[in-house]
Structure formats: C-alpha cells, structure tokens
Structure 1
Amino acid sequence: MATTAGVQDKPTVWLKLAHGSGAAAFGIKNNGFDYFLLLFYGTVIGLEPGLVGLAIFIALTFDAVSDPLVGYWSDNFRSKWGRRHPFMYAAALPVALSYFMLWNPPELGQTGLFFYLTGLAVLIRTFITFYETPSSALIPELTSDYEERTSLQSYRLFFGWTGGTMMSIIMFGALMTGPLGMLDPQAYATYGVVGSLMILVTILISAIGTHHRIPHLHRPVATGERYTVRRIFREMFETLSEKSFIALFFATVLFAIASGLAAALSFLMLRYFWGFAEFQIFIWTCTVVLSALMGFLIAPWSVRKIGKKQSVVVLGVLAFTIQPAPVLLRLLGMMPENGDPLLFPLVLGINVIDLALIIATQAVAYSMIADLVESNQVKTGRRNEGVYYAATTFTRKVTQGIGVAAAGAILSMIAFPEGAEPEAVPAETLWKLGAFYAPSLLVLYLGALYCISRYRIDKAGHEENLRKLAESRGPQA
C-alpha cells in the first residue's frame, strides 16, 4: 500500500466552508487574468493585444512542466504537516506579492512590457499552483463518498466564482467610477492592492481551517526506491494514462479554452457588441453571485438524481447551446437593437440561467477527478491526487493561456480599435467580433461534451474500487 490513514466520509459544513473558501484566491487571480488583463495591458497601457496573448501562452508552456511536478511532489512529500499544507502555506505571500506587481508595472516600451508581463505571468501561475493543486487534492482525502465529493467541489467553485465576482463588483462599483472609467490606470493599480491582500487572506484561512485534519490525511509510505527523474516521469505517465482521465482531461481543456475566450472578450462584448452602459455592466457582474449560488445547489442535486457523467452531459447541452444563442440571433437580426429597453433584461436573464448551468457543469466535472484516485490506486498501489489535480489546475489555467491568446488573435484579425468609444467602432467590426465569438464557443463546447461521454467511472464502479481497497487493507486493520 502507498498510503495509510482513513478519510472522513461526511465532512462538516464548517470544514467545507474552510476548504472551499481558499478557492477564492484562484477565483481572484482568474478574474484578473480573464476579464481585465487584456483590457489593461492591451488598451490602457497600449501593449499590442497579440503580445498579451503571446505572453500568457508562453507562461502556459511552463505550466505544462511545473504543474504535474508540483502535483507529484505534493503526493510524495513528507513532513509533520503532512503532504499538502506546507505547499499551501508557502504559496500565500509569493502569489500575493507577484499579483500586486502585475497591476503596477513600471513605465516600459513594448518589448519591456512584454517581458515584464511574461515573467510575472510565469511566477503567478507557478505560485498559484503551489496552493491550488495541494488544496484541491484534499477533496478525495476529506471524503470517499461519491456525492460528498461533488458537494466539496461545489463549495470550491462557489467561493471561486464569488471571490472573482466581488473583485469585479469592486472595480465597477468603486474603482472605475471616475471620468476615465474602464480606462483609468489608477483603478487597476488599486485593484492589484485589494486583490493581492484578498489572495493572501483567503489562502491562509483555508490552510489554517483545514490544518486540524492533517493527522487523518493519507501519508506516503516509504518504498525504499530512490527518486530519480526516470521514476518520477514513469509514475506520472502511469497515473495519467488512465483512459477515463484522458477523456476528462481533453474535455476540461476544451471547456477551459472556451471559458477563457468568453471571459477575455466578455466586457468588450457587453460594452461594444451589446452597447450596455457601465452601470448595466455593474448589475450584470453582481448577478454572477446569484448564478454561483444556483450552480452550487444544482450540481449536488443533479449528481444524486442521475450520476456525474449524465449530469455533465445534460447540464452541458443546456448551458452550451444557450450561451452563444443571443449572439447568433443578433447576427441573424433577430434580437432587439442596442438601446432597446428589452435588450438588457433579456440578455441578462439568459446569462444568469446559463452561467448557473455552466458552474454546475464545472463542479460535477471537476468532482469526477476525485473518483480517479481510487481507480488508479487499485491498479498501481499509489494515491496520486496531486498529479490528477495538477492536471485540473493546468487546464483551468489554459483558460488564460489559449483562451486569452485566441481572444487577442480575434481582436487583431478584426482590427479592433484600441481605446475607442463604443459609437466609434464600425458596425462591420462588431459583426465580425460576434461571428468569431459565438461559433468558436459552440464548437469547443460540443467537442468537450463528446470527450466527457468517454468517461467510464460511475457510482457503482467507484464503490467497487473502494471495496477492493478495503479488502487489501483488511489484514492491517
């Protein structure tokens, strides 16, 4: 056996709150990268949008190596504080400091800004991995229950989405209310201060709040085999070659790219394509909390009713056909014109429901990763939660990588004017923006749902894996 110790099958609400609250740090970081980074560097500072996307894509190549290595390291780390918590504590200050620096750049030319952004993107994404991967990897350790794992993941996504949304509310409700609005550089500097402090606090709350569970978590057992580069990559390959994981990995990659593309262009679509005023965008942002709450409730309920894979497929089909629908209808001339009093409540209502379904889909899909742990343990004798969740962290950061790169490429291809007022953007340019945006999302989402259909572990299969592991531990009981 690779590990010892048991798991708590019914985590308390307080434990779920403590564990889940830390996801706000990832949500805050994502909020900045997804919604404001391209706008800040590409419009306010004046770095060419394609270079912004390239900088994030370069950081993504570092993630492809660092994420699984951090996951493997945390799976095999030995300390008096267990496998996960030393990483969580160590990440708090570095990620907060680097996030602050991102939004307070020095005065540099195009080349200097590009290298500054690239370097900080690498640092932030590496530091956040040191927290997010070990923290997420606690889910299968805190409970082996099929439904409870979805509940734990729902708490994480609720706090992740809410944490990020609160930053947007602060931006639109307080920081961007000056005469320069969304083009005010001081607003982004203050955003960096507030965001970095919130990241620091939420990481520490989560680490401290789950600290008491350390004695009950799994511990790696020494095998006597020396760690070598060959052994590390052999074990990671064995872990990640699970067929259900491969299906889930490609699904989450496609989900993440689509989400990143939608997020990076979100405010441009709202302000320019739909012509919404800044106060309307503020209201739009506030309703994300409502969607997060709805998704938080829908995900566990759907798993109890129809299981995980079926939940993802059903919720996904609903969500991913609804999301691009308003844009496609506008391209066909079947939506109210900009300025029509019916347009904002119509598009807003559709978005609230659609986003709730997307969040629920994400919660269920991410919870499916936890069930891979025992399946892999039956085959290899090792628990590799960190490696699996590193892959999840990687795919979620693809949201900023390929998604932002794609958004930057679209803006470059359609020659979207930098810093222009909505009325100054040609109608043809806006039509091209929608024509690239909606079909791209639809194709990516449908591809992800096809990948999900290849996942094979259901509740019965998970419980059978637990039974086999219990039998193997029998003589030691």
Structure 2
Amino acid sequence: MIAPVVSAPTVSRGVRLGYGVGSFCTATVNAVPGLLLLYYMTNFLAVPAWLAGVVVTAPKAWDLIINPLVGRWSDRTRSRMGPRRPWLLAGACTLPIAFFLVFAGPPLTGVPAALYVGACFMATATAYALFEVPYKAMPGEMTHDYHERTSLLQWRMIFIGAATAISGVLAPAIVSSQGANGTVGSYRLMAATIAVILLVAMFGSFFGTARAPMTGAPEADRGGWREQFAAIKGNSAFIWITALACTQMLAVSMMLAAAPYFAAYTIGTPAATQTLFAALVGPMLLTMPLWVRLSKRFGKRGAMVLAALLFGGGTAAAVATPLFGPLYAHLTILVVGVGIAGVQLLLFSMLADVIAADAARTGKRRAGVLTGLWTAIESGVSSFGALIFGVILSLGGFIESEPSTPVQQPDSAVTAVLIGQTAVPAVIIFASVLMTLKYRLTPPVGPGPDESG
C-alpha cells in the first residue's frame, strides 16, 4: 500500500476543537447504552438476560446496511458545506431525540418492553450513522501528514475522555440520585440530560468544522457496490485495521455491559460504577500526549502493541478482585484506562492513514465508504459483547427482576459476572496483540512514496 509524501496544511486549533467536540457523540452513544442498557432492561423492565442481550445486539445488524450507505452518500454529496457536514447536521437534529426515547421508560415489562427498547435503539443507530460515519471520514481529508493526523486525533480523544467521564460518572450518578439502585424515572432524567449534551456537542462540531481544510480530496468513487467491495477486498491494511478494531471493541463492549454488575455483585455497591469509570477515564484525559510521543518513537504498530498489553494485563489482573478488594479493582482499571487511551487514539489515527493512502493509490474519494464499512463492522461485532455477557449471565443462573421485587443472586451468577468482566475480555484483548503485527502501513520514507504490504 502506498503512503504519500505530501506537505500537509496546518489544521487550526479552532478547527481541532470544533472537530474534537463531536466525539461526545461517539463516546456517549457507545458508552451509556453499553454501560446501562442491559442492566436497565434486566433489573427494571424484567427482560430476561439473554433477550436483553439480543436487543442490545440486534439493531447493530442494521449498521451493516446503513453505515456504508451513509458513507457512500456523503462521498457523493456536493454542497457549499462540503460533502460531510450536511450529514453531521442531520445527525445532530435526530440523534438526541432517539437516544432519549430508548430510556423513556414506558409502562411495559418483559417482551413488550424489549420490543419497545429495540425499536428505539434501532432509530438511535440510524441517527448515529448519519453523524458518525461522515465525522470519522473527515481527518483523512483534513491533512495527509502521517503524524499530524495523530496530533489532530489527540484532540478528539481528549473529548472522548471527557464524554466517557460524563457517560460513566454523571449518567450513573443521575440514575442513582433517586435511590442507590435508581428508578425508571431517574433513568428518564439521565436520558434527557445526556440528550441535551449530545445536542450541544453535535451542533458545536457542525459549526466548529465550517473552516476545516480539505486537502484536495479526489472525486468520489462512482462505481457500484460490487466494484467498491472488490477494491476494499484488496486493501490489506483496511482489512486488518477493521479486524483489529472489531476484536478490541468487542472486549470493551463486554466490559461496559459488565461494569454495573461488577460494581453491584463483585465489589458490593452499585455506586462503584462511578468511581471505576473515574479510574478508567483519568488516563484517557492525561496520557494522550504520551501516546502521541510513543507512536513517533516506536511507530503506531509498536505503540498499539504496548497499549493492548496494558489493556489486557489490567483486565486479567482484575480477576483477583474478590481476594484483594475494591481498591485493588480500581488500580487495575487505572491500568486498563492507560491502555484503552492508547488503543483508541491509535485505532482512529491508523484508520485515517489507511483512508489517505487509499485515496493516493486509487485517485478516488472513498473515505465515506471505507469509514462506513469500518464503523458498521466494528459496531456490529462489538455489539456482541453485550450478547456474550448476557449469555454468560444466563449460564450462571442470573435472575432478572424489578426494583419492587429484588432477588438474591446465586453464587454461580456472581462468578459469571466476574468471568464476564475479566477473564473473557482479557483473552480477546491478548488475541488483538497478535493481530496488530499484521498491520503494515508505515510513514513515508525518503523523497518517494513508501510501499507497504
């Protein structure tokens, strides 16, 4: 694969901030349902754990259709706002409403409640695609410089850290504001608050990227689906970065779904969800400059291996939480946070490299198609994390309930929570380390283009 040598324009700080704030959408829409939706359905709507896992997973199959479509449409869009920003506006107008409806809490339980949540979550996935797919395509078109893309995305990751803090600390705090375990009303209040934050952040990104540079992006690829998929099939760097993202985000989604259960049944207090997320998010806000330097020192692949080892090592170590207690659990999650910070920054930076290299090699603008496929596949595969964890809970004998009729979980269910939070995700993460070694796209060397396998 060819990585071009091009002098990149400087992306202003205002544009970096404007672009970065859009990450509130990325982090919040992934984190809040990933963290709270399964627990909300099993413990408040009396939905069986396996069915709740299906509800969280099923709408993601729609991503495989809608995300590539939005990417293709945005590639071909011509407007005074550029090809991507009209879609950012469409997502900003629809996503906050759909998100609120997921947690609106109608007077339903069991299967009817599962059907309602599933329909609203499907609408959320559609609105999310309208914003997120074009949004992720933009960095590869703002600059062609290999390392400036990492620097640009550093701002995005800082906002992801802030949004994750809001998702993982503020959202559970609002839920527990009306009782330690929360109420349907407190979930509704949480959803309204997060929806307002989404609205402000997404419009902020739309207006903040108005002056974003475009690096002479080529014409959109006008080929049909068959030609575009055939070209992507031969793009080895894209295939491997997509497979790597799927593997790592599968582990992340499992841990998000397991976090409230881990806090309630392993640590012994639901409120620990907030402090665990504080331990996770802190490194994301503080270590981004370090990961930028490490990527320059060891290359993006080397830095990714280090990040994944920290991520997996902290996750595996958390299995000993019943022996060493809550403080130990928080220390292991701190290590996980350092690893996740590097993993997420490098994933998005490597994707932007692949998009820019593809444009240079083919002379076609396919950023939207590539990003749409990447987002759809990654989102679809990672959504199985909640389903896998739901199945683990069911195998462990977890008993669904409503707040008015709490139940005592059997020891097997408590063990299942621990395994689903630690051992299984750790195995998945360590597998991603081996996959990282297959990534071959490197920075330009010398006066000519760099050839990478």
CA separation of 1:405 and 1:362: change in aligned 2, threshold 3 A:
same
Q: Which residue is 1:212 aligned to?
A: 211
Pick which of 250-259 and 346-355 moved more. 346-355
Q: Residues 140-219 of structure 1 correspond to what in structure 2 (within 5 A)?
A: 140-179=140-179, 181-213=180-212, 216=214, 218=216
Gaps of 5+ in 2: 1-5
Q: Distance in 2 between matches of 1:408 and 1:344?
A: 24
**Aligned 8 A contact 2:60 2:380 in 1:** yes
Instruction: Report the Cα distance in structure 1 between the residues aligned to 2:247 and 2:310, rounded to whole angstroms.
Output: 17
Task: Choose 81-90 or 167-176, whichever is displaced more.
Answer: 167-176
In structure 2, which of residues 407, 421, 430 is the aligned counterpart of residue 446 of structure 1?
430
Cα offset, 1:308, TM superposition: 0.5
Q: Residue type of the partner of 1:251?
A: L
Equivalent in the alignment of 1:314:
306
1:413 to 385, 395, 419: 395
SS in 1 for 2:108: coil
Per the TM alignment, residue 240 of structure 1 is displaced from its structure 2 partner at its CA by: 4.7
Tell me the percent identity. 20
Whole-angstrom distance in 1 between the partners of 2:449 and 2:181: 52
Going from structure 1 to structure 2, the CA distance change for 1:322 and 1:287 (only over 3 Å counts) comes to: closer
Residue aligned with 1:62, SS: helix
- Provide the residue aligned with 2:236 in structure 1: 243
User: Are residues 466 and 218 of structure 1, via their aligned partners in 2, closer, same or farther at CA, if it must alter by over 3 Å?
Assistant: farther
For residue 232 of structure 1, report the CA deviation from its aligned partner. 3.1
Counterparts of 1:256 and 1:293, CA distance in 2: 19
Residue equivalent to 1:340: none
* 1:16 and 2:23 are equivalent in the alignment: no
| Equivalences for residues 114-125 of structure 1 within 5 A | 114-125=114-125
Q: Distance in 2 between matches of 1:87 and 1:463?
A: 38
Structure 1: how far apart are the matches of 2:7 and 2:59? 36
Helix, strand or coil: the match of 1:79? coil
Equivalent AA in structure 2 for residue 195 of structure 1? I
1:355 partner amino acid = G
8 A Cα contact 2:94 2:127, kept in partner: yes
2:3 aligns with none
Residues 1:43 and 1:7: Cα distance change in structure 2 (over 3 Å) = farther
The one-letter code of the counterpart of 1:159 is: F
Q: Kindly tell me: are residues 352 and 109 of structure 1, through their superposed partners in 2, closer, same or farther at Cα, counting changes over 3 Å?
A: closer
Tell me the CA shift for residue 7 of structure 1.
Answer: 8.3
Could you tell which deviates more after superposition, 139-148 or 433-442?
433-442
Structure 1 residues 428 and 392: CA distance shift in structure 2, 3 A: same
TM-score by length of 2: 0.90
Aligned 8 A contact 1:57 1:402 in 2 = yes
Aligned-partner SS, 1:249? helix
Instruction: Write the distance in 2 (CA, Å) between the matches of 1:133 and 1:462.
Output: 33
CA apart distance, 1:29: 1.2
* Equivalent of residue 398 in structure 1, options 359, 380, 394: 380
- Alignment partner of 1:360 is 2:353: no
Instruction: State how 1:248-397 maps to structure 2 within 5 Å.
Output: 248-275=241-268, 277-327=269-319, 329-330=320-321, 335-336=323-324, 343-397=325-379
Residues of 2 paired with 1:444 and 1:295: CA distance?
A: 24
- The aligned amino acid for 2:250 is I
Shift of 1:10: 2.7
Is the CA contact (8 Å cut-off) linking 1:315 and 1:357 kept in structure 2?
yes
Match of residue 470 from structure 1:
none
**Any conservation in 1 of the 2:219–2:365 contact (CA below 8 Å)?**
no
CA distance in 2, matches of 1:199, 1:121: 16
Q: Distance in 1 between matches of 2:365 and 2:352?
A: 11
Cα separation, partners in 2 of 1:76 and 1:236, compared to 1, 3 Å: farther
Secondary structure of 1:459's match? coil
1:54 Cα deviation from its structure 2 partner: 1.1
* Cα offset, 1:138, TM superposition: 0.9
CA distance in 2 between partners of 1:434 and 1:222 (Å): 48
Conservation of the 8 A alpha-carbon contact between 2:64 and 2:380 = no
Offset of 1:265 from its aligned partner? 0.4
Aligned to 1:474: none
Instruction: Give the CA deviation at 1:22.
Output: 0.5
Q: Deviations over 1:305-335 (max 9, x none)?
A: 11111110122122212212121x357xxx3
Distance in 2 between residues matched to 1:383 and 1:7, nearest whole Å: 19
**Stretch deviating more after TM superposition (411-420 or 69-78):** 411-420
Bigger Cα displacement from structure 2, 287-296 vs 85-94: 287-296
- The alignment status of 1:126 with 2:119, answered yes or no, reads no
Give the counterpart letter for 1:234 in structure 2: E
* 1:361 alignment partner AA: V
By how many angstroms is 1:386 displaced?
A: 1.4
Distance 1:249 1:218, change over 3 A: same
Which letter does structure 2 place at the counterpart of 1:459?
Answer: P
* Unmatched runs of 5 consecutive residues or more in structure 1: 1-5, 337-342, 468-477
d(CA) in 1 for partners of 2:186, 2:206:
30
Larger Rg: 1
For 2:422, the aligned partner's letter is A
